[in-house]
Amino acid sequence: MSEKPAEKEKKGKEKREKKKKEEKGVYTLYKIEGDKLVRLRPTCERCGPGYFMADHGDRYTCGHCGFTRYKTATAK
């Protein structure tokens, strides 16, 4: 296979952007600790488990119902 240098460069940039996007997959919401599955985001107390809330710095917001919960000092 012979590729043009310009094409190769473009491909490399595309690959890097794609990798960055992949980091925001659903699997980032979970973390395996030993044999336990740990949720990294809180779930919406209105919608129930399965609906994750988005981290907005000092608060969490549910994208499903719009419920906002402010972070407490104890929760890190």
Which residues of the chain form contacts with Zn ion (CB under 5 A)? 44, 46-47, 62, 64-65, 67
Shortest Å distance, C-beta 24 to Zn ion: 20
Shortest Å distance, C-beta 41 to Zn ion: 12
How far is CA 40 from each of CA 12, 28, 57, 64, rounded to the nearest angstrom?
31, 8, 14, 18
The residue among 16 and 39 lying less far from Zn ion, judged by its C-beta, is: 39
The residue among 40 and 65 lying less far from Zn ion, judged by its C-beta, is: 65
C-alpha to C-alpha distance for 20 and 1, rounded to whole angstroms: 27
Shortest Å distance, C-beta 48 to Zn ion: 8
